[in-house]
Amino acid sequence: MVKLIGSRKLNTAVFISGRGSNLKFLIKYAKKKTSPIEIILVISSNKFAKGLSYAKINKINFLSINYKNKSSAENKILKLLQKKQVKLICLAGFMKILSKKFIGKFEGKILNIHPSLLPKYKGLKTHQRVMDNNEKYSGSTVHLVNNRLDSGKIILQKKIKILKNDNPASLKKRILKIEHEIYPKAINKLLFNY
Ligand code: GRF
């Protein structure tokens, strides 16, 4: 369980692999006086990730990790998280699967955002699969991370209607917009229970 101590903001790390638009909105949220988190570290599995620019602009420490050897990559990350006393991890487009060992060290303290109405459409290519199945609705889910892919406890979910002229690309765009809205809300819900 993640616990707030007094009025101190919670040291938070965001893990990315690419564009980083969720990171951008998490940074915006964390900067608010009323926000319970401070983003003190950004980890990227890709040194060319566009999202790293948000860490640079906002003067947040960042580290891009070579993931060729997963266990040594994770050990490096774990050391840094410990050194920086990170208490909450937000995965935001992080394209690597964390090991059991890693998750065990941060149980109940790792959030992920997924672009579907979980438990439906776990994994990749969600929008294409949603459209192929003629679903009426899709959306996004923020959930805790456990050892099974996209299967941890759901914290917050938002649903949108699929429009007649939607295609996977337009759906992706509309869902990304609601992701930026629900990730901060999910953190509030996790930490303040609202
Ligand atoms: C988001 O759609 C998120 O749900 C998924 O990866 C995408 C990341 O987008 N896990 P961004 O890098 O935050 O722009």
Residue 194 confidence (pLDDT) = 63
Tell me the pLDDT tens digit for each residue of 65-77.
Answer: 999 999 999 999 9
State which ligand 1 atom lies nearest to the alpha carbon of 175: 2
Cβ of 36 closer than 6 Å to ligand 1, yes or no, is no
Question: Could you tell me what percent of the chain has a pLDDT over 70?
Answer: 99
Residue 86 reports pLDDT greater than 80:
yes
Residue written as tokens 């401070």? 38
Instruction: Determine how many CB atoms are found less than 10 A away from the CB of residue 170.
Output: 14
Catalytic residue of the set 114, 127, 143, 180: 114
Tell me the pLDDT tens digit for each residue of 125-178.
Answer: 999 999 999 999 999 999 999 999 999 999 999 999 999 999 999 999 999 999
Distance CA 162, CA 89 (A): 31
Cβ of 21 closer than 6 Å to ligand 1, yes or no, is yes
Rounded to two decimals, the pTM is 0.96
The alpha-helical segments, DSSP class H, found in the chain are: 21-30, 52-57, 70-83, 100-105, 126-132, 168-192
143 is catalytic: no
Residue 5 confidence (pLDDT) = 74
Please name the residue whose Cα sits nearest to atom 1 of ligand 1: 93
Instruction: Determine how many CB atoms are found less than 10 A away from the CB of residue 1.
Output: 6
* Predicted confidence band of residue 33 (pLDDT cuts 50, 70, 90): very high
Cβ of 179 closer than 6 Å to ligand 1, yes or no, is yes
Cβ neighbourhood burial of 85 (10 Å; 0-12, 13-18, 19+):
exposed
Best residue among 113, 117, 126, 128 to mutate for probing ligand 1, ranked by most atoms within 8 Å of CB? 113
Residue 6 reports pLDDT greater than 80:
no
Count CA within 13 A, CB hemisphere, residue 73. 17
Count CA within 13 A, CB hemisphere, residue 81. 24
What torsion do the CA atoms of 73, 150, 15, 7 make, to the nearest 10 degrees? -120
Cβ of 126 closer than 6 Å to ligand 1, yes or no, is no
* Predicted confidence band of residue 122 (pLDDT cuts 50, 70, 90): very high
Please name the residue whose Cα sits nearest to atom 10 of ligand 1: 93
* Predicted confidence band of residue 64 (pLDDT cuts 50, 70, 90): very high
- CA 121 to the chain's CA centroid: 17
Mean pLDDT value across the chain: 96
Q: Which amino acid is at 169?
A: A
Distance CA 172, CA 4 (A): 34
Residue 3 reports pLDDT greater than 80:
no
